[in-house]
Structure 1
Amino acid sequence: MSLEFFITSMIVVLLPGTGVIYTLAVGLGRGFRASVAAAVGCTVGIVPAAVASIVGLAALLHTSAVAFQLVKCLGVIYLFYMAWGILRSGGALDVTADKTAKSSFKIAITGTLINVLNPKLSLFFLAFLPQFLPADTANAGGALIQLALAFMAMTFVVFVGYGGCAALARDYMIRRPTVMTWIRRSFATAFGALGAKLALSD
């Protein structure tokens, strides 16, 4: 793994996206342990995109408008569903939710679906990973797998950091219902905006 790959990947991971917003929301609403589950889910959600890019399936999304539109529509619907859930009952920001293993599992599943239902993630890996593959690489498949695993590891570490920072602010937030209301509205708006952005993508 080159220094260029590490720096570029870190910049990409740090940029706010659906996974970052979801992990922050869970950290604020349910605490650090739940945010780790969200980080795990978001990281696992990268696997299909990474595999698709490595075996060339991402090219199908790039060349087939029907395939891209189908996955995109599912992703848009899910993001809007997340926004509505946060506004209606708190969703990830429901501070009264229990912290059982089942609850953590559901949090992880949601994080996984957020990334799985984002077709742009497959296209990102298709364009991103080959740039850091030397032309004389003997085992291109193995090298791409190593790069994908490194990217996932960085994603998990950064997302856990985001979740931890959000969890630290949790007690301050939940003692102030008005602040929590605005936080909830902000996250709902963010998910709605990301859904609209995905809906308008080509």
Structure 2
Amino acid sequence: MSLQFLLTALIVVLVPGTGVIYTLAMGLGRGRVAALWAALGCTFGIVPALLAAMLGLAAALHASAVLFQAVKFAGVAYLLWLAWQALKSGGALNVQEDSGETNGWRIAWRGVLINVLNPKLSIFFLALLPPFLSGDPASVGTEMAVMGGTFMALTFGVFVIYGLFAAQAREVILGNARLMRWINRSFAAIFAALAGRLALDRA
């Protein structure tokens, strides 16, 4: 595994996307433990896309417009639901003084779905990994598994940092009702914008 791959993967992970936004929302809305569960869920949500890339299913998804559209619009609907949960009082992503839901498995599952319902992720792996392979057909599977595992480790580490930062900031915003309303509306707008961007994506 090359240094070039590590740097490329780190840059990709550092750029805020849907998973980062979700982890930040959980850190601000529910605290440190929830942020860790969110980071864990988003990380494990990578597994299906990685397996799809390794098995060549990403190419089939790319070739099948119907399948791509079905997964894509399921993802759009889910992101819009998350936007509503940020606005709704007591919603799963709503920042509030009461820490609300603390069911770690449920928090993690939502993070898993964020990545599972993003058809672009498997295609992304199909494009990211091959340039860094050695070219030895006998070791392709092992190399992709190692690079995928490394990408997941980087994802978890970076997301934990984002989440813990957000959890620390939670202590600052609690008690400021106006700021909490602004943050909730901002998260809702971001998830809605991500849903719109996903809806416009093509295979």
**TM superposition score normalised by structure 1:** 0.96
CA distance in 1, matches of 2:95, 2:109: 17
CA distance in 1, matches of 2:64, 2:16: 28
Structure 1: which 4+ aligned runs deviate by more than 6 Å? Answer: none
CA distance in 1, matches of 2:174, 2:142: 47
Q: Name 2:93's counterpart in structure 1.
A: 92
Structure 1 residues 47-196: aligned runs within 5 Å: 47-89=47-89, 90-95=91-96, 96-98=98-100, 100=102, 103-136=103-136, 138-196=138-196
CA RMSD of aligned residues (A): 1.2
CA distance in 1, matches of 2:197, 2:174: 30
Letter in 2 for 1:58: A
8 Å Cα contact 2:87/2:94 also seen in 1: no
Q: Which runs of 5+ in 1 are unaligned?
A: none
1:138 aligned counterpart, secondary structure: helix
Q: Name 1:16's counterpart in structure 2.
A: 16
8 Å Cα contact 2:95/2:184 also seen in 1: no
Q: Which runs of 5+ in 2 are unaligned?
A: none
Q: Name 2:197's counterpart in structure 1.
A: 197
Task: Give 1:136 deviation, angstroms.
Answer: 3.2
Task: Give 1:175 deviation, angstroms.
Answer: 1.9
Tell me the alpha carbon deviations over residues 33-82 of structure 1, each in whole angstroms, 9 at most, x when there is no partner: 11000000000100000000000001111100001000001000000010
CA distance in 1, matches of 2:88, 2:157: 31
Q: Name 1:33's counterpart in structure 2.
A: 33
CA distance in 2, matches of 1:142, 1:177: 51
Task: Give 1:137 deviation, angstroms.
Answer: 5.5
Aligned pair count reads 200
2:201 aligned counterpart, secondary structure: coil
**TM superposition score normalised by structure 2:** 0.95
Letter in 2 for 1:93: N
2:16 aligned counterpart, secondary structure: coil
CA distance in 2, matches of 1:158, 1:88: 28
Letter in 1 for 2:191: F
CA distance in 2, matches of 1:137, 1:60: 21
8 Å Cα contact 2:95/2:180 also seen in 1: no
